[in-house]
Amino acid sequence: MLDKYPQPIDAPKLSGLPQSSPYTIDMATATETLDLTKLDQTVLRVYVRQLLIFPFLDAALREEAGAALAGGLLATFKQFPFLAGTVEQRDAAIGTLTVRYPKSVDSKVVSKLLTANVLGEAELTYESLIDAGVPPVRLPANDLCPFAMRSHPGIDDTYAEVLTTFKKGQPIPVFSAQMNFIPGGLILSAYTHHAVVDGTGIAKIYQVWSENTRKYGTEMAMPEQASAHNLNDARHAFDTLIEGAPTAKEFPEFFFPGSSRPPLLRDPPVKLSAKLLVFSPSIISTLAASLSKITKQSISNFTALASFVWCQATNARRAAIEAKGIEKTTLGIATDHRKRVGSLLPDDYLGNVANAMVISVPLSTIPTTENMDAYGIAPVAFALSEALAGVDLDWFRSRLLELSKQKNPSKLMMNCHTMNGPDIFITSWQHIGADDVWAIPGTTKTEGEKWGGKPTSIRKPHNLWEGGMQILPRKKGDAAPYEIPLCLEEGDMERVLLNLQEGSWVERVVEA
């Protein structure tokens, strides 16, 4: 007999004080194990931290909002029970991670992983955030990190911002979330460990969770918990891509242990500056059209935007790069292979199916300030387009084969040196969550006067990651701007901003 969607489920308690201690699974709890793939074991061991921001005008509806989100999350955990689990490293010598999760996920687990907080600071209001362009600098992790992860005995830092090394020997949560109520708004924090779920998987979590909020309070049946056998079968199926995989002569994207890295551009400490660059869609589509005409190739908006920002950042760093005798710059890109893998994986597969590719060009190829136009950028866009076109299923399988040969694949890093180096890394979050409709009481209503609205913005908490950037989630269609947080050395950032503003490239610059 299936349970109905709980009416009402216990809502997370609302207070300015923590309502949950760091999350662990009780020793007496019966558990299942999720088998991670070879690729899962190699990705960057960090939490993907995102903030979904909504208007919220009626404080009297906070508990109803909490009940809907908690009920929706319980149904989501039933489909993906490992999200209610923990990840740990059992053997440091080989670095293998293990995920355990409750054999039966219930509302008590939800109450530990979905917490609530009320932030009453006058300077942090929904209206002021929106007016300022939702600046990440006003979204600090110390306010918005879920209580289930704060000061966790297994996490390396207080607010889950840096690499998780597992040196503390304690299991850490796979996922946790928090409702942060501010005057006039709701900031929903969602933190997910990258070793278990990739960006497209996170998009699926939001899609399912939001759909479940729309079902909450109806007569729809609560789903049965997904079987461990089926969940593991999907991960095992992914690893069959390694069988009979072709070999490759070189792997430019891998930084193997013992390899030498480029010299640091500057003596540390380096003062950093972070900005959120907002581009109008017409500027980017016009640039892509011009690049397509010049290169006689179809240049996508993504390729145009990535090439442009790479050129701008590298040109700003040029003097420092040349002073160290470095002759090339590299762009790293996270590439999703789900379409190439096809029907091998179920549609709701959350595990990692993306890896990094890199493309390097001579520093002399990067246009100078005087030549920063479509003609100057075209050789870089052409090289990037060609590199992306060369990525196919055999390319991916050969990388998986190489990863499977590593004694400790967690030691294998990406050959892209962004921190105080000559390189840039970009990933696209464009399709993560921007168009999901959440039925959260107190937010917005549909035309039928039912609760339902999309996030106004999706951000990550303020942090300084030099040379790394994401294209933030944007709504479908031609109207939504492209938003990219970029962090560089202070002087480099000043030069980038001057060039962007002189060329009328940006619509807005927001503090990040």
- The model's pLDDT over 271-307, given as tens digits with 9 standing for 90+, comes to 999 999 999 999 999 999 999 999 999 999 999 999 9
- Whether 363 maps to a domain, the answer reads yes
Verify that 195 and 333 share a domain, yes or no: no
Residue 411, pLDDT > 90, answer no
Q: What CATH number is attached to the domain comprising 326?
A: 3.30.559.10
- Whether 384 maps to a domain, the answer reads yes
Residue 431's closest CA among 472, 465, 394? 472
pLDDT score at 343: 96
Residue 219, pLDDT > 90, answer no
- Whether 142 maps to a domain, the answer reads yes
Residues 244-268 have a mean pLDDT of: 94
pLDDT score at 13: 65
Domain boundary among 179, 209, 235: 235
pLDDT score at 2: 40
Q: What gap in Å lies between CA 428 and CA 202, rounded to an integer?
A: 13
Verify that 269 and 352 share a domain, yes or no: yes
Q: What band does 459 get if pLDDT is binned at 50, 70 and 90?
A: very high
pLDDT score at 19: 56
pLDDT in tens, 15-50: 544 456 899 999 889 999 999 999 999 999 999 999
Phi, psi of 182 (to 5 degrees): -120, 160
- Whether 288 maps to a domain, the answer reads yes
Verify that 107 and 40 share a domain, yes or no: yes
- Whether 499 maps to a domain, the answer reads yes
Verify that 204 and 317 share a domain, yes or no: no
Residue 478 tokens, joined: 């031609």
Q: What band does 122 get if pLDDT is binned at 50, 70 and 90?
A: low
Q: What band does 10 get if pLDDT is binned at 50, 70 and 90?
A: low
- Whether 337 maps to a domain, the answer reads yes
Residues 128-146 have a mean pLDDT of: 97
Count structural domains, the chain: 2
Verify that 285 and 426 share a domain, yes or no: yes
- Reported as type and span, the H/E element at residue 428 is strand 424-428
Q: What gap in Å lies between CA 448 and CA 153, rounded to an integer?
A: 47
Residue 341, pLDDT > 50, answer yes
Q: Which residue has the tokens 């809907």?
A: 68
Verify that 215 and 356 share a domain, yes or no: no
Residues 250-269 have a mean pLDDT of: 94
What's the DSSP call for residue 90? E
Q: What band does 8 get if pLDDT is binned at 50, 70 and 90?
A: very low
Radius of gyration for the alpha carbons in the chain, expressed in angstroms and rounded: 23
Q: HEC profile for 220-276?
A: CECCCCCCHHHHHHHHHHHHHHHCCCCCCCCCCCEECCCCCCCCCCCCCCCCEEEEE
pLDDT score at 493: 98
Q: What gap in Å lies between CA 428 and CA 94, rounded to an integer?
A: 31
Verify that 200 and 309 share a domain, yes or no: no
Range of the domain at 284: 251-430+474-511
Domain boundary among 174, 205, 235: 235
- Whether 2 maps to a domain, the answer reads no
Q: Are 184 and 118 in contact (CB under 8 A)?
A: no
Residues 185-193 have a mean pLDDT of: 99
Helix axes 490-502, 301-323, angle to 10 degrees: 130
- Whether 383 maps to a domain, the answer reads yes
pLDDT score at 7: 46
Question: What's the whole-number average pLDDT of the chain?
Answer: 94
Domain boundary among 201, 235, 269: 235
pLDDT score at 90: 86
Verify that 384 and 332 share a domain, yes or no: yes
pLDDT score at 237: 98
DSSP count for the chain of H helices, then E strands = 12, 18
Q: Are 453 and 445 in contact (CB under 8 A)?
A: yes
Residue 30 tokens, joined: 């019966």
Residue 372, pLDDT > 80, answer yes
Verify that 297 and 183 share a domain, yes or no: no
Verify that 366 and 496 share a domain, yes or no: yes
**496 burial level (CB within 10 Å; 0-12, 13-18, 19+):** buried
pLDDT in tens, 45-84: 999 999 999 999 999 999 999 999 999 999 999 999 999 9
What is the percentage of the chain residues whose pLDDT exceeds 70? Answer: 96
Residues 162-176 have a mean pLDDT of: 97
pLDDT score at 362: 99
Verify that 201 and 161 share a domain, yes or no: yes
Residue 486, pLDDT > 90, answer yes
pLDDT score at 319: 98
Verify that 158 and 218 share a domain, yes or no: yes
